[in-house]
Amino acid sequence: MALGFIKKVFTFGKDKAPADASSPEAELSAEEKAAIASETEPHSREENLPLSPVDPVAQAEMETAGGPSDDDEDAEPELIPSGEAPGELGMVPLSLLQAEAEAEEGSDGEQGQSPSVPAEPVLPKGFATRKEVAPVEAAPEVKLSWFQRLRQGLSRTSAQLTGQITALFTKRKLDEATLEELEDLLIQADLGVETAMRIADTLSSERYGKDVTGEDVSRIMSAEITKVLAPVAKPLELDLSHKPHVILVVGVNGTGKTTTIGKLAAKLSGSGLKVMLAAGDTFRAAAIEQLKIWADRTGSDFIGTKLGADAAGLAYDAFEQARARKSDVLIIDTAGRLQNKAELMSELEKIVRVLGKLDPDAPHTVLQTLDATTGQNAMNQVEIFRNVAGVSGLIMTKLDGTARGGILVAIAAKHKLPVYFIGVGEGIDDLEPFEAQDFAHAIAGVAH
C-alpha cells in the first residue's frame, strides 16, 4: 500500500544514514561539513519528490472512491497536479533548513542522517502535516451489525427524544403539564398522535404524581411502540402456485425501489428460486441499466424495453415471458415521478389492469418503498400510492442513514399495512426482515 511504500522510502533513508554517520564525517572540520551540506541539500529535495505523489490520504481516498490502486502506475502523477510540486518545494528550503537545524540540535550524534532522511518541513502557522491515515484502511474491519446500523440510523430520533425527555422530567413530578409536553415531544418525533397519547397514558397510570426518569419513559415508549408495530411486522408471503408470483414495486423516485428489488432478488435467487426482473421505469435510462446490473449480480433474468416505451406493455410482456420460462417470481420496477401525479396514476393503474388480464390476482404483491430520511412526507406517499396502486406492504429503506424512523410507527398505526423488510445500507445483503421490538428499542434508545 501507499503507506507501506512511504515507510519503505523512509526506512531506506534511515538504513542508509548510519552508514554515513559511521563515516569519517564526524571528524570533519566546520567548512568541510558546510561543503557536504551544500552538496547534499539539493539531493534531499529530490528525494522528497516521489513522496508527494503518494500522499497516503490522497491515495486512500482514491482507493475508496474506486480510483486507481497502487498497481495503477499511470495514475500516480494525477494525484498531485504537476504545477504544484515545484512551487511547494520552492518554499521548503528555509523550513527544511530550520528543521535540519532543529534536528541537529536535538540529536546526539545523528547528524549523518539528515542528508538521506528528509526532515519534516516546518509549515507556516495554520497548517499541519497530515499524519498517517491508517484508520481509512482499518475502517472496513469494524463492520457494524445490521442492528447497530439501524440504531445508528435512528440515533438522531432517539438521542433527541431521550435528551428532551430527560430534561423535561428533571426535578419535576409527573403532572398534566409534563404529560402534555411529553406528548408534544413524541408527536414532533413523527410517532403520531395516537401513539404519543398511548405512551403518555401508560406513563400516567404508572407514575402520576411521582418522579419520572428518562429510563421509565424509554421503557414504556419501547413497549408501546412494539405494540403498534408487532401486528405489521410480517413476512412477505409468496404464493408459489402462481408461476410467477408477481411483485410490483412502487414508490417515489429515489426511495430505493431499484436497490430493494436487487436485494430481494438476491435473497430469492439465493434460495434457489427462479427470478425475473422487469425494468418498468421506462423514463430513466439509468434506472433500466441499474436494474440490469442487479439482474446480472443476482443471476436473475432481465427484461427491459426502449426508453420512453409503454410501461404497461413492458409489464405484460414480462409476465408472459416469466410464465414461458417458468419463473417463480417476477419483480417489476416502476417510475415514481410524483411531479406529474395524474400521469403517474394512470400509468400505475394501467400496469395493474394489464397484469390482471393475464391473471386476475396479479399483481400478487404491491410493495411500496419509503425513504426513512423523509419523515412526515412518507405518510403522504403511502396515501397516494395506496389509492393508485393498491399497496399491500411496505419496505422502509435508508434506516442506516440519518433516519427519522418515527413516521413508520405513525404509518403502521394509521394504515396497518404489513412492513416486510427494512433497508440498512446500499449493499446486496443490507435488507433485513422487519422486527417490531428491534425497531422500537432503537427509537426509544433501549439496549438490545
Ligand X SMILES: Nc1nc2c(ncn2[C@@H]2O[C@H](COP(=O)(O)OP(=O)(O)OP(=O)(O)O)[C@@H](O)[C@H]2O)c(=O)[nH]1
Q: Is 253 annotated as a binding residue?
A: yes
280 lies in the binding site for ligand X (CB under 6 A): no
CB 53, min distance to ligand X, A: 32
Alpha helices (H) in 65-213, listed in sequence order = 76-79, 84-106, 134-138, 146-153, 155-169, 176-188, 193-207
CB 88, min distance to ligand X, A: 37
Q: Is 263 annotated as a binding residue?
A: no
Q: Is 256 annotated as a binding residue?
A: yes
Instruction: For ligand X, give the closer residue by CB, 213 or 402.
Output: 402
Residues whose CB falls within 8 Å of the CB of residue 438, separated by 6 or more in sequence, listed in order = 147, 150, 448
The grid cell for 384 is: 397516494
Residue 20 one-letter amino acid: D
Choice from 181, 426, 428, 433 touching ligand X (CB under 6 A): 426
Three-state DSSP class for 281?
Answer: coil
For 173, which DSSP code?
Answer: B
Binding part of the chain for ligand X, among 179-187, 354-362, 378-386, 418-426 by CB under 6 A, reads: 418-426
Instruction: For ligand X, give the closer residue by CB, 349 or 426.
Output: 426
118 lies in the binding site for ligand X (CB under 6 A): no
Choice from 59, 226, 259, 374 touching ligand X (CB under 6 A): 259
The partner residues of 279 in beta bridges, in order of sequence, read 333
CB 209, min distance to ligand X, A: 44
* Binding-residue total with ligand X (CB under 6 A): 20
398 lies in the binding site for ligand X (CB under 6 A): yes
CB 141, min distance to ligand X, A: 20
Q: Is 408 annotated as a binding residue?
A: no
Using CB under 6 A as the binding rule, the residues of this chain from 310 to 339 that contact ligand X are 336
CB 16, min distance to ligand X, A: 49
Find out whether 251 and 369 touch, Cβ atoms under 8 Å: yes
Rounded distance, CA 410 to CA 219, Å? 19
Using CB under 6 A as the binding rule, the residues of this chain from 198 to 257 that contact ligand X are 251, 253-257
The DSSP result for 204-269, as a single string, is: HHHHTTSB--HHHHHHHHHHHHHHHHGGGB------TTSSSEEEEEE--TTSSHHHHHHHHHHHHH
Instruction: For ligand X, give the closer residue by CB, 50 or 254.
Output: 254
Q: Is 85 annotated as a binding residue?
A: no
* Chain residue at closest Cβ approach to ligand X: 423
Choice from 113, 116, 164, 258 touching ligand X (CB under 6 A): 258
**118 upstream amide cis, omega within 30 of 0:** no
Rounded distance, CA 430 to CA 326, Å? 28
Find out whether 334 and 250 touch, Cβ atoms under 8 Å: yes
Instruction: For ligand X, give the closer residue by CB, 64 or 69.
Output: 64
Measure Cα distances from 167 to 109, 157, 164, 181, 190 in Å.
62, 16, 5, 11, 19
Q: Quote the distance between the C-alpha of residue 219 and its chain's center.
A: 29
Choice from 117, 220, 279, 287 touching ligand X (CB under 6 A): 287
CB 255, min distance to ligand X, A: 5
The grid cell for 144 is: 457494524
CB 439, min distance to ligand X, A: 14
Choice from 192, 405, 425, 445 touching ligand X (CB under 6 A): 425
Binding part of the chain for ligand X, among 177-185, 349-357, 406-414, 420-428 by CB under 6 A, reads: 420-428
Instruction: For ligand X, give the closer residue by CB, 58 or 424.
Output: 424
User: How many residues belong to the chain?
Assistant: 448
Q: Is 377 annotated as a binding residue?
A: no
Rounded distance, CA 95 to CA 120, Å? 9
Cα atoms in the Cβ-side hemisphere of radius 13 Å centred on 199: 32
CB 128, min distance to ligand X, A: 32
Residues annotated in a binding site for GTP: 251-258, 333-337, 397-400
Interface with ligand X (CB under 6 A): 251, 253-259, 281, 287, 336, 397-398, 400-401, 423-426, 430
